Structure 1
Amino acid sequence: MRIDLRGRVAVVTGAGRGIGRDVVTTLAGEGVRTVACDVTAGDLRSLGTDLASSGTENLQFECDVRDEAAVRETVRAAHGRLGRIDILINNAGVVDDATIEHLSESTWDLVQDVNVKGTFLMCKAVIPYMKAQRAGRIINAASFAAISPRVAGVAYASSKAAVAHLTRGLAGELGPWGITVNAYAPGMIPTEMNHFAELPEDQQQRLLETLTLRRWGTTGDIANLICFLASDRASYITGALIDVSGGKLATQIPAEAYDLAGDA
């Protein structure tokens, strides 16, 4: 089975670093014309340099996904330059690290605005172009926290649960135009946002013991899933929330299997 995305146009938010950056470079490697959006100009310049030898067209836009006018203009400019928009990946996101009792209103608002409002505004901006094509792929970053929240992360978890429901609702609305809408729920993938790989060794081990596949995930694991969801091979998948957590919910106590395997 060959996934062929050559010539398609993908808009990716939060593209300057981490998962978003790997998604852009992976798509470019598949022949996709990419539109990278981020709030950090330096990261976008660095990404543009990395993509210079990719052999595909690539654009970078400094854009705050909370700003409807900026989002609308970015999408309009991208469509004007590249002629179509086939794929939207809503990757931009921020986290919180406080219990509700100590969570500030400003942090709550920031997390909801970037993670939920930003996803809503980007979807709203691309939908007319995708409807005109009668085809499109919208892929939203949820999180494993949307399934099972962590302590001192309720703002983030609630925002990602909202993204999961937004995904399902939008999938229903856009089905008549052949547009699919799906979300992915990453688990423990070390990035500059979560710093998993920088934790003390004992804390890392405690986290890994909660997984069926006892290893950190990689940004490439997400990028590969996105390539599939963006392709014609996934044309009958819509409204889904795909768990990419290394089997965190596969069994109640994943460590039991490792204990048994050790006795084999």
Structure 2
Amino acid sequence: MHIDLNGKVAVITGAGRGIGRDIALSLAHEGVHVVACDVNPADIESVAAELTAIDPRSRGYACDVRDATAIDALLNEAHDALGSIDILVNNAGVVGDAPIDELEEATWDLIHDVNLKGTFLMCKAVAPYMKAQSSGRIINAASFAAISPRVRSVAYATSKAAVAHFTRGLAGELGPWNITVNAYAPGMIPTQMNHFAELPDDKQSELLDTLTLRRWGSTADIANLICFLASDQASYVTGTLIDVSGGKLATQIPSEAYQAD
């Protein structure tokens, strides 16, 4: 199977570091003109330098996904410069949960504004471009927390569950224009946001015991999925939430398979 994305244009949010950065670089290596966006100017400046070394037409923008006016300006400039917007990856996200009786209202609002409203605003803004060309791929970051929430994670889990449901509804709306909409649910992928790989050894072992494939995932695992979903090879896949968790809790006690007889 040959995935051909050469010449496509992708807008990726939260691309300054972690999973988003690897998605941006992986797509650029596949011949995609990447428009990388992040709220942190220093992060986006760094990834933009790497992107333009791969593809001079790729670029980076500082953009807050909560700002509809900035999003409209960004997409208009990208479309004018590159001629189309074929792929949107809504990867931007934040965490910051606490027990419900200690959770600040401002934290709840921030998590939902970035994770859910930001996804909505990006999709709302990109839809007219994709409808006009009768094609497009929208790929939204959910989380394994959308399937099975963690304790003290209600704000994050509800925002990501809403993204998954939003994805299904939007797939139905945009299907007549040959636009697919899918979501991905990363499991234990160590990043600067979750610090999994920095936990004490005993805590890491406890978490790894919940995985059918007893190892941390990598940002490349997510980027590879994005490349597939963005391609024509996935043209009949829409309205899905794809679990990329190494089989987290696929069975009741996956660690049993690793225990000596």
Letter in 1 for 2:114: V
**Structure 2 CA distance, aligned partners of 1:2 and 1:16?**
28
Q: How many aligned positions are there?
A: 261
- Correspondence 1:213 to 2:213: yes
- Per-residue CA distance 1:135-177 (angstroms, 9 max, x = gap): 0000000000000000111100000000000000000000000
Offset at 1:53?
2.1
1:109-188 correspondence runs (5 A): 109-188=109-188
1:212-231 correspondence runs (5 A): 212-231=212-231
1:1-264 correspondence runs (5 A): 1-259=1-259, 262-263=260-261
**Structure 2 CA distance, aligned partners of 1:53 and 1:75?**
22
**Structure 2 CA distance, aligned partners of 1:242 and 1:57?**
31
Stretches of structure 2 that go unaligned for 5 or more consecutive residues are: none
**Root mean square deviation, CA, Å:** 0.8
**Structure 2 CA distance, aligned partners of 1:108 and 1:4?**
40
Offset at 1:258?
1.1
Structure 1, 211-220 or 70-79: larger mean CA deviation: 70-79
**Structure 2 CA distance, aligned partners of 1:98 and 1:25?**
33
1:71 and 1:122 in contact (8 A); partners too: yes
2:44 and 2:61 in contact (8 A); partners too: yes
Three-state SS of the structure 1 residue aligned to 2:190 is coil
2:51 and 2:59 in contact (8 A); partners too: no
**Structure 1 CA distance, aligned partners of 2:64 and 2:51?**
22
Offset at 1:56?
4.8
Stretches of structure 1 that go unaligned for 5 or more consecutive residues are: none
Letter in 1 for 2:48: G
Amino-acid identity (%):
71
Offset at 1:47?
0.8
**Structure 2 CA distance, aligned partners of 1:108 and 1:3?**
39
Structure 1, 11-20 or 73-82: larger mean CA deviation: 73-82
**Structure 2 CA distance, aligned partners of 1:55 and 1:218?**
24
Offset at 1:96?
1.8
Three-state SS of the structure 2 residue aligned to 1:36 is strand
Three-state SS of the structure 2 residue aligned to 1:183 is strand
Three-state SS of the structure 1 residue aligned to 2:16 is coil
